[in-house]
Amino acid sequence: MILTHREAIDLLKSRKNNLKETGISLDLNKTLSKIKIQNDEFVFPDNQKLNDSQLKKPIKDDKSCFIIRDNSLVKIQMFSDETNKFYKLVPTKDAPTIEISGIRMHVTKSMTPMEDTTKKIETISPVKGIVLDTCMGLGYTAIAASKAADFVFTCEKDENVLEIAKFNPWSLELFDNRKIKIIKTDIFEGIKDFKNNMFDVVIHDPPSLSLASELYSLDFYKQLFRIMKNNGKLYHYTGNPGSRNRHINLVGNVSKRLKTAGFKNIEKAHFGLRVLKQ
């Protein structure tokens, strides 16, 4: 059961209106659950209980998700000594995003993570056959691709990201969908294990250039070309760094390297590039 500032505000409003019961989401906007309001406590499923004072915590911190555990609220976040990074689940209007050391892994200023995911999939629609999702994250892309694809391979090297995903109700399908296989690997090395001409579609949504420059390299693009079938489709997220760093033409540089790797028909599409292998 997960609470954010929105649910906490709704609960306090319900008490103020003298309600004995109310409905809120405990799975980040997926379903509604009934909460009883008794005396000075809110009674949740499994008989978990919180009071008014505890609900002030998420109200003050509207950029965090809190799990209800042992009658208390625990923020869904962690720091890894191994990676020296801070991981956090951040609520939005629909599905949450993951924030790694202050950098959000989805476009959230102009749209929600689900809208962002839908637009990425639409750039290479119809998504059919065998799909590779190079960088899993919370798995929204892999889940969306699996709706029409025959099978989806999704890769994630960071155990901390996998751990955050297990808390996220919007990611749960990753772990029980028979059309999705999670491969725990660094895709830069793991891609070498895939067979030639294996994939009909590749969705390459890497971290920023500063965090994973190897995933923007010619060597990696040559591997992408190798594993893709003829007439295969690639979506490559790049973001829009030129708006902040005008001396960096990332889209132009990526396009040149993709052409050198053998790709043709490269065009801009939703914060990135749509590419065909012919």
- Residue 208 pLDDT: 83
| 270 backbone φψ class: left, alpha, beta (φ>0; ψ -120 to 50) | left
Indicate if the pLDDT at residue 194 is higher than 70.
Answer: yes
Residue 126: cis peptide before it, omega within 30 degrees of 0: yes
206 and 127 share one domain: yes
- Residue 109 pLDDT: 80
**Under 8 Å between Cβ of 49 and 43:** yes
SS3 65: coil
pLDDT confidence of 200, banded at 50, 70, 90?
very high
Which helix (H) or strand (E) segment holds residue 33: the answer is strand 33-38
The arithmetic mean of pLDDT across residues 65-88, rounded, is 95
Query: Dihedral sign, CA of 184, 173, 108, 99?
Result: negative
65 and 116 share one domain: no
268 and 205 share one domain: yes
% pLDDT > 70, the chain? 97
**In the listed set 50, 75, 100, which residue is the last one of a domain according to the structure?**
75
Q: How far, in whole angstroms, is CA 98 from its chain's centroid?
A: 6
- Selected residue with higher pLDDT from 250 and 107: 250
40 and 169 share one domain: no
Q: Is residue 83 in a domain? A: no
212 and 149 share one domain: yes
The arithmetic mean of pLDDT across residues 152-174, rounded, is 96
Q: Is residue 91 in a domain? A: no
Query: Dihedral sign, CA of 68, 89, 183, 157?
Result: negative
Backbone angles phi, psi at 73, to 5 degrees: -110, 130
Indicate if the pLDDT at residue 246 is higher than 70.
Answer: no
Q: Could you give the CA distance from residue 19 to residue 17 in angstroms, rounded to a whole number?
A: 6
- Give the domain range for residue 22: 2-75
> Does the model's pTM come out above 0.85?
yes
pLDDT in tens, 7-25: 999 999 999 999 999 999 9
Q: Is residue 90 in a domain? A: no
- Residue 210 pLDDT: 80
66 and 181 share one domain: no
244 and 113 share one domain: yes
* Burial status of residue 70 (CB atoms within 10 A of its CB: 0-12, 13-18, 19 or more): exposed
- Residue 242 pLDDT: 52
Q: Write the CATH number for 143.
A: 3.40.50.150
- Residue 219 pLDDT: 97
Query: Dihedral sign, CA of 175, 178, 184, 188?
Result: negative
Q: Could you give the CA distance from residue 19 to residue 11 in angstroms, rounded to a whole number?
A: 10
% pLDDT > 90, the chain? 85
Q: Give whole-number Cα distances, 259 to 71, 156, 222, in Å.
A: 57, 27, 10
